[in-house]
């Protein structure tokens, strides 16, 4: 078990930054199992919805690892409005990983090493300066690598919430073991609406139920840059909503009882042993007047079930994290889905799950 650190940095003020919304997992025509989904269509859709960032992560196995000569070389992979990191989905017998970076990198080297030992992949990751994000850890094409080489984990893949419940349990297992692992979502969308009737395929209907932003990942970055985007994802300064018109969930905490919520998602501090007041906030979007349900999870166990105030869309709870133990708290928001007119059938697939937060940590060892 990781040792409890003797000291942790003091956090004395709320984090300043800018909220950026986007999608970390998408497929274009450069994935052979994609239909009616050129990159230009994906980017134009994301721009119209008001996204801030987007990553097209085509299957590398479909081009024998040569994503630099396909997805990245596509002249449509550009935008004046979106941050566009580079990436691909490592598609291997042991499972799937989104390989991500701020700029082009040697993905061919990663593809060629896809069946290597984890310690060799870790060395390659460090050499190339890239981000490994564990994709859909509990599905058929699961993440079969060590979580110790992962920088983040996909806790919500596609619009169908129910299939992600086992993956969230895996994330909770990692958190309970002492690992601080930032969570994200990803639509994993493959198919677009056909431009002409004759282009319709058996998969075309999927675009009306799962497309860009189902789910949406909100990132609190220090600035609007790709570097800050990745920094915040790793740190867990993020939350996930079923679609971009649902409210964004934020979890804050007042550590010292002075009335100021100085802690936010991803923060890690030493507790005093006294009571800590937590505040759940739902920001923007949503349906006016709704009382959303809030499930608080502490150390993998259900801690409380609460309801937001319909005017302020907030709710508070209190607990006293133990001085000599690790603790984490995260929240899940349930209620009616806000309509997403461009992807109208996604709401039914998401069910009542509206949003999830990253945790606030106590006594975690950042060096573990």
The parts of the chain modelled with pLDDT lower than 70 are none
Distance CA(165)–CA(80), nearest Å, equals: 36
Report the 10 Å Cβ neighbour count for 147: 18
| Model confidence, pTM | 0.97
Which of the 8 DSSP states describes residue 121?
H
Distance CA(231)–CA(226), nearest Å, equals: 9
Give the residue from 199, 236, 196 showing the smallest Cα distance to 34. Answer: 199
Q: What pLDDT sits at residue 15? A: 81
Beta bridge partners of 282: 249
How many residues belong to the chain? 368
Q: What are phi and psi of 263, to 5 degrees?
A: -105, 145
Q: What pLDDT sits at residue 5? A: 87
Distance CA(99)–CA(110), nearest Å, equals: 9
Q: What pLDDT sits at residue 278? A: 98
Q: What pLDDT sits at residue 339? A: 98
Strand pairing category for 314-319 and 276-283: antiparallel
CB of 32 within 8 A of CB of 59?
yes
3-state secondary structure of 69: helix
Containing H/E element for 167?
helix 165-176
Q: What pLDDT sits at residue 179? A: 97
Full 3-state SS string of 194-263: CCCHHHCCCCHHHHHCCCCCCCEEEEEECCCCHHHHHHHHHHCCEEEECCCCCCEEEEEEECCCCCCCCE
């Amino acid at each position: 078990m990781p040792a409890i650190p003797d000291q942790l940095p003091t956090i004395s003020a709320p984090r300043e930054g800018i909220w950026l919304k986007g999608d970390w997992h998408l497929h274009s025509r450069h994935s052979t199992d994609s239909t009616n989904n050129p990159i230009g269509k994906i980017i134009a859709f994301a721009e119209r919805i008001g996204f801030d960032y987007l990553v097209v992560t085509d299957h590398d196995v479909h081009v024998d690892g040569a994503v630099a000569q396909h997805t990245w070389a596509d002249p449509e992979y550009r935008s004046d409005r979106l941050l566009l990191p580079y990436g691909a989905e490592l598609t291997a017998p042991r499972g799937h990983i989104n390989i991500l970076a701020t700029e082009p990198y040697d993905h061919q080297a990663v593809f060629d090493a896809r069946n290597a030992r984890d310690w060799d992949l870790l060395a390659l990751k460090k050499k190339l300066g890239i981000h490994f994000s564990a994709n859909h850890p509990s599905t058929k094409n699961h993440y079969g690598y060590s979580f110790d080489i992962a920088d983040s984990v996909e806790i919500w893949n596609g619009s169908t919430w129910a299939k992600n419940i086992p993956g969230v349990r895996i994330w909770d297992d990692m958190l309970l073991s002492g690992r601080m692992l930032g969570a994200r979502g990803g639509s994993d969308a493959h198919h677009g609406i056909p431009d002409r009737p004759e282009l319709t395929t058996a998969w075309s209907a999927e675009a009306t139920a799962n497309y860009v932003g189902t789910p949406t990942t909100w990132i609190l970055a220090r600035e609007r840059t790709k570097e800050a985007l990745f920094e915040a994802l790793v740190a867990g300064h993020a939350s996930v909503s079923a679609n971009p018109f649902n409210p964004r969930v934020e979890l804050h905490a007042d550590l010292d009882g002075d009335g100021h919520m100085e802690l936010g998602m991803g923060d890690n501090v030493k507790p005093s042993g006294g009571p800590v007041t937590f505040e759940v906030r739902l920001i923007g979007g949503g349906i006016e007047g709704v009382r959303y349900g809030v499930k608080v999870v502490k150390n993998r166990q259900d801690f409380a079930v609460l309801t937001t105030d319909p005017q302020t869309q907030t709710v508070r709870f209190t607990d006293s994290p133990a001085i000599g133990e690790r603790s984490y708290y995260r929240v899940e928001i349930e209620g009616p889905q806000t309509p997403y007119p461009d992807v109208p059938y996604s709401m039914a697939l998401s069910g009542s799950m509206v949003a999830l937060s990253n945790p606030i940590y106590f006594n975690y060892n950042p060096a573990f």
